[in-house]
């Protein structure tokens, strides 16, 4: 992995105010670029705003479309790779929580959120692909908010070659300190278990559609340690230098890099549906045998 300076933006996004959100995003990109960032990551659905109400149906945008074209133009003007979120409406009228990857040369691709929270399932459709993206000597994947609670997703992205996991959030409620405590319970594990950098950022403020966001951004190294963080409701751009030598320090140490030691033949049960109720070593009254898994 080559060295890269990244920026994670904490931003307020008002639902339906897409043009204003886009203009404010452009200002943050200009600021981050002036500070030497080569990649700027924005929160989940930062362009259309995040909503779990019917409101989202009328503000969703197609990709490609006017909004994605505007993001590409910002990327071209700034010379920076952009990760930006919007509610996407496809040609069948389905709505996805999507994150656009736009380089100065044009759109690299889109990630559609795969794991939907119970509140999102009524309105959004789940994506079914796990792409990785390449840019200037790095490979990265994207997980959106609720996605980060499913460790298999991070592992699959790491096995596909990801050096960095970008985790844009639209996670409401609580204080910045409470949100930080929540993130550090699981995001540190995603970094440590898979030997990857993790970059997370959240929306902040009132979205004018019934939700209040506490902000927060942080960057973790491949040992799960905090490199830098912004624990505040204030809008901000958080910079971090992600260094290839730091990744190599973990991945070249046979006791620190766990992925090569995996034994997938033992994990067949992960791809089978199981009822939710587990009790100790039994499962619906039956003792689990490794041969059943």
Quick: pLDDT tens for 27-63.
Answer: 999 999 999 999 999 999 999 999 999 999 999 999 9
* pLDDT value for 274: 58
Nearest in space to 144 (alpha carbons), one of 219, 233, 72, 84:
84
Name the CA radius of gyration of the chain, rounded: 19
- Dist. CA 47–CA 112, nearest whole Å: 15
Beta 212-214 vs 217-220: how paired, if at all? unpaired
Mean pLDDT of all residues in 245-262: 94
Distances in Å between the alpha carbon of 107 and those of 42, 67, 139, 247?
16, 12, 16, 27
Q: What is the pLDDT of residue 2?
A: 97
- pLDDT score at 273: 60
Q: pTM of the entire structure?
A: 0.92
Instruction: Give the sign of the dihedral formed by CA 47, CA 95, CA 197, CA 226.
Output: positive
Fold classified for 4-292: Nitrilase/N-carbamoyl-D-aminoacid amidohydrolase (3.60.110)
Least-confidence region, from 6-10, 105-109, 198-202, 275-279: 275-279
What distance in Å separates the CA atoms of residue 210 and residue 53, rounded to the nearest whole number? 9
Please calculate the CA angle 243-248-254 and round it to the nearest 5 degrees: 155
Around 88, how many Cα atoms within 13 Å sit in the side-chain half-sphere? 21
pLDDT at position 159 over 90: yes
DSSP label at 203? B
Q: Is the dihedral of CA 163, 29, 106, 12 positive or negative?
A: positive
Q: pLDDT tens-digit profile of 59-89?
A: 999 999 999 999 999 999 999 999 999 999 9
Asked if 116 and 153 touch (Cβ cutoff 8 Å), the reply is no
pLDDT band at 278, cuts 50/70/90? very low
CA 256, CA 223: separation in Å to the nearest integer?
Answer: 8
């Amino acid at each position: 992995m080559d060295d890269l300076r990244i920026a994670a933006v904490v931003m307020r996004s008002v639902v339906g105010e897409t043009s204003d959100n886009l203009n404010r995003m452009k200002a943050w990109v200009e600021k981050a670029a002036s500070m030497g960032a080569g990649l700027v990551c924005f929160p989940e659905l930062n362009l259309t705003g995040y909503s779990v109400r019917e409101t989202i149906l009328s503000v969703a945008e197609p990709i490609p479309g006017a909004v994605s074209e505007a993001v590409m133009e910002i990327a071209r003007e700034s010379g920076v790779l952009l990760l930006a979120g919007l509610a996407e409406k496809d040609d069948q009228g389905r709505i996805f929580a999507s994150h656009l990857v736009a380089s100065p040369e044009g759109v690299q691709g889109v990630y559609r959120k795969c794991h939907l929270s119970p509140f999102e399932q009524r309105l959004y459709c789940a994506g079914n692909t796990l792409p990785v993206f390449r840019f200037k000597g790095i490979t990265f994947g994207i997980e959106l908010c609720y996605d980060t609670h499913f460790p298999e997703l991070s592992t699959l992205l790491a096995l596909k070659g990801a050096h960095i996991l970008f985790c844009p959030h639209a996670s409401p409620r609580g204080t910045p300190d409470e949100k930080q405590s929540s993130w550090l319970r699981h995001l540190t594990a995603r970094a440590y278990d898979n030997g990857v950098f993790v970059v997370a950022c959240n929306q902040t403020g009132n979205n004018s559609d019934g939700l209040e966001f506490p902000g927060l951004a942080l960057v973790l190294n491949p040992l799960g340690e905090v490199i830098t963080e912004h624990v505040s409701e204030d809008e901000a751009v958080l910079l971090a230098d992600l260094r290839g030598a730091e990744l190599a320090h973990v991945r070249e140490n046979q006791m620190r890099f766990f992925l090569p030691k995996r034994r997938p033949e033992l994990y067949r049960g992960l791809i089978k549906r199981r009822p939710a109720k587990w009790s100790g070593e039994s499962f619906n009254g039956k003792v689990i045998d490794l041969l059943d898994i």
